Amino acid sequence: QYGARLWGGGVDGAALSAVLCVDKMTHSNYEEIIMPEYHRGIPELAA
């Protein structure tokens, strides 16, 4: 599975987790640079 709001196995989740940890430790924003919009940890807001 790959696409908007879908996760493929555990690799995508592990990669996102690692990026979020680095962002927190370095006060950076690699999540927005590296991860596609639909694989970011930011939840969709209700309309």
pLDDT at 43 over 70: no
* Within a domain: 28: yes
pTM reported for the whole predicted model: 0.64
The number of folded domains in the chain is: 1
In a domain, 12, yes or no: yes
Q: What DSSP line would sit under 23-39, residue for residue? A: HHHHT--HHHHHS-GGG
**Residues 30 and 22 sit within 8 Å (Cβ to Cβ):** yes
> Is residue 47 a part of any domain in this protein?
no
Is residue 46 pLDDT above 70, yes or no? Answer: no
CA–CA separation, 2 and 15 (whole Å):
14
pLDDT at residue number 12: 75
What pLDDT sits at residue 28?
A: 96
* Structural domain harbouring 18: 1-42
Q: What is the pLDDT of residues 7-38, one digit of tens each?
A: 566 677 788 889 999 999 999 999 889 887 77
Task: Please tell me which residue, 46 or 33, carries the higher pLDDT value.
Answer: 33
6 part of a folded domain:
yes
